Amino acid sequence: MKFDLTEERQMLQDGLRRFMRDSWDKSTREAVLDGDTGYSSEAWQGLAEMGVIGALFTEDDGGFGGAGFDLSVVFEELGRAGATEPLLEVVLAGGLIARRGSDDQKAVLESVIAGETQLAFAHTEPASRYDLDRVSTEATKSGDGFTLSGRKAVVVNGPNADHIVVSARTSGEVADRDGISLFVVKKGAEGMDLRGYRTMAGSHAAEIALDNVQAELLGSEGDAFDDIEWAVARATGALSAEALGLMEACRKLTADYLKQRTQFGKPIGKFQALQFRMADVLIEIEQARSAVINLCGNLDQPRDLRERHVSATKQLIGAVAKLVVEESIQMHGGIGMTEEYDLAHLTRRLTMCDHRLGDTTYHLSRFTRLAAA
């Protein structure tokens, strides 16, 4: 048993931490939160040049990593900086293109890895909440291709995406696993109405209405569910690692503040009431770290084992995130509630992790079902 990172991953972590510290400072954050895209294109280019996007893909797909612990290293550092670059969309949409695409379709990955093409994954619908099988967008055969009609909700990075991977039903009823297919839709496709907006996580997202939009099938027809679950499992590992990084950043700010802030003639960190709570936060973050390891170390296991870890990890992460957010703000007092202070963006982004890929209630209930099976 060994819990150290390999030498390559250690180097990736060190380099990325330095890079993020320099490139995701306060002025970057302010520009991103006020900006039109929800991320920094300089940081994105930098990540591409460092090979960070490539680290999310296997060598076969043109990258040089792609394993669970590559994801966790990258995303923890992203989280630590509070960065909003749309890398999770690469894990989702890019992962699905790599897994299902024809050679022609996979050609786009080279420009994704080079930072030249933006992706999004349009799966969630207004009524699907977190269910992966609840797809009602319809795909109809037309000529060589398909046309899509329906609505997609909260598509993160949707407004920036050059290629959107869209799920739609080619057969079956709303919650059937069979009959779900995946498609690629290009930016500005005719019949696609996209309303972009800011999110609480700092990233931008879109509501997408599809009205007979021309789309290209990705993989074969009707069998996409298993691959969607696979890609979401990997993305859950990544998002959980990002949440862990965000937790560490909140903890550090709070611990530093407790040492600095003086009331009643001493640093507030001298009050045992706060010391014990800081200790609780630390204990729970270590639980979160282990949960991330559990999931990222089991992403290549058979489906049932993998999915048990998906729900176990995401449930625990959601619960710890809530604790860390609420305690960090509370122990700061008024300062913790101001936009100006770093904590605001970090706690918003951390809180939003529970609203993607399933929340604590969803995964607790899913875990009981998977455990019983």
Partner 1 sequence: MDLSYTDEQNAFRAEVRAFLQEKLPERLSDKVRLGHELTKEDHEEWHAILNEKGWLAGNWPKEHGGTGWDAVERHIFEEETTQAHAPRIVPFGINMLGPVLQKFGSKEQNEYWLPRILNGDDWWCQGYSEPGAGSDLASLKTEAVRDGDHYIVNGQKTWTTLGQYANMIFCLVRTSKNGKPQEGISFLLIDMDDPGIEVRPIVLIDGGAEVNEVWFKDVKVPVENLVGEENKGWTYAKYLLTHERTNIAGVGFANAALENLKRIARLEMSHGKPLIEDPLFAAKMAQVEIALMAMATTNLRVVSKAAEGQAPGAESSMLKIKGTEIRQEINALTREAVGPYAMPFVSEALEPGSNTEPVGPDYALPMTKTYFNNRKLSIYGGSNEVQKTIISKAILEL
Ligand X SMILES: Cc1cc2nc3c(=O)[nH]c(=O)nc-3n(C[C@H](O)[C@H](O)[C@H](O)COP(=O)(O)OP(=O)(O)OC[C@H]3O[C@@H](n4cnc5c(N)ncnc54)[C@H](O)[C@@H]3O)c2cc1C
Binding site for ligand X (CB under 6 A): 261, 263-264, 268, 271, 273-274, 330-331, 333-334, 337
Q: Which residue is nearest to ligand X (CB)?
A: 333
CB of 35 to partner 1, least distance (A): 14
Task: Assign 77 to helix, strand or coil.
Answer: helix
Given partner 1, ligand X, none, residue 129, with its beta carbon under 5 to 8 Å by kind, binds partner 1
Decide if residue 130 touches partner 1 (CB under 8 A).
yes
Provide the β-strand partners of residue 142: 145
Decide if residue 135 touches partner 1 (CB under 8 A).
no
Q: Which is nearer to partner 1, 197 or 256 (CB)?
A: 197
Candidates 67-75, 218-226, 242-250, 338-346; binding stretch for partner 1 (CB under 8 A): 338-346
Q: Which is nearer to ligand X, 295 or 331 (CB)?
A: 331
Burial of 302 (0-12, 13-18, 19+ CB in 10 A): exposed
Q: Report the distance separating Cα 169 and Cα 307, nearest Å.
A: 23
Decide if residue 201 touches partner 1 (CB under 8 A).
yes
Buried b (16+ CB within 10 A) or exposed e, 155-191: bbbbbbbebbbbbbbbeeeeeebebbbbbbbebebee
Closest CA to 89 of 230, 292, 235, 242: 235
Strand-pair category, 204-218 with 145-156:
antiparallel
Candidates 45-53, 258-266, 281-289, 293-301; binding stretch for partner 1 (CB under 8 A): 258-266
CA-CA-CA-CA torsion for 294, 298, 303, 304, nearest 10 degrees? Answer: -40
Q: What's the DSSP call for residue 144?
A: T
**H or E element that contains 152:** strand 145-156
Decide if residue 278 touches partner 1 (CB under 8 A).
no
CB of 177 to partner 1, least distance (A): 14
Select the residue interacting with partner 1 from 13, 111, 199, 287 (CB under 8 A). 199
Given partner 1, ligand X, none, residue 177, with its beta carbon under 5 to 8 Å by kind, binds none
Which residue ranges make up the site for partner 1 (CB under 8 A)? 124, 126-127, 129-131, 134, 153-154, 174-175, 195, 197-201, 205, 207, 262-265, 271, 273-274, 322, 326, 329-330, 333-334, 336-340, 344, 347-348, 351-352, 354-356, 359-362, 364-365
